[in-house]
Amino acid sequence: MTHRTQIEDYNYSVFVGSEEFMAFRTLLPVGSSAADFEAKLLETGQRVQFSDYWKKGDVLIEFGSLT
């Protein structure tokens, strides 16, 4: 899959509602080690490493969007 297709695939333009529920079920159950990733901090524009948060303490992460 090309990068462009990956982007269009992920960012669907029409909500259909067939969620990938199975992925959530099997991916990171309680007790397992959280997955690390890099993201951009909106406030400063810096790149941050998610693991930096759990290295200092507990972290509660909510996923979402405007819509």
Partner 1 sequence: MGEVPPLTKLHEKYRDKGFAFFIVYVREAHPGENFPHHGSFEQKLAHARQLRDLERVKIPILIDDLKGAAHVAYGLLPNMIYLIDRDRTVVYKSDWTDAHELEGMCESLVRLDDMKARQVPIIRKGVSERLHWIPMDPQHRERIYRRSGEKAIRDYFNARGHLPYATDAERDKT
Partner 2 sequence: MARQFAPKGINFVFLYTREAHPGENYPAHRSFEQKLEHARAFKAEFNVERPILVDDLTGTAHKLYGSLPNMTYLIGRGGRVLFRADWTDPRTIEYAINYVLNSRARRREGLRLAPFYAEFVGYRWNDPGKFQEGLVRAGQQAVDDFDRAMKQRLKQGPRLGRIELPE
Distance (Å, rounded) from C-alpha 42 to C-alpha 62?
15
Residue 58, interface with partner 2 (CB under 8 A)? Answer: yes
x/- map, 9-48, partner 2, by CB under 8 A: -xxxxxxxx-xxx-xxx-xxxxxxxxxxxxxxxxx----x
Residue 64, interface with partner 1 (CB under 8 A)? Answer: no
**Are the C-beta atoms of residues 37 and 50 closer than 8 Å to each other?**
yes
Q: Which of 14, 23, 30, 60 binds partner 1 (CB under 8 A)?
A: 30
Q: Which two tokens stand for residue 63?
A: 């996923």
Q: Which of 1, 15, 19, 29 binds partner 1 (CB under 8 A)?
A: 29
Give the chain's end-to-end CA distance (angstroms, integer).
27
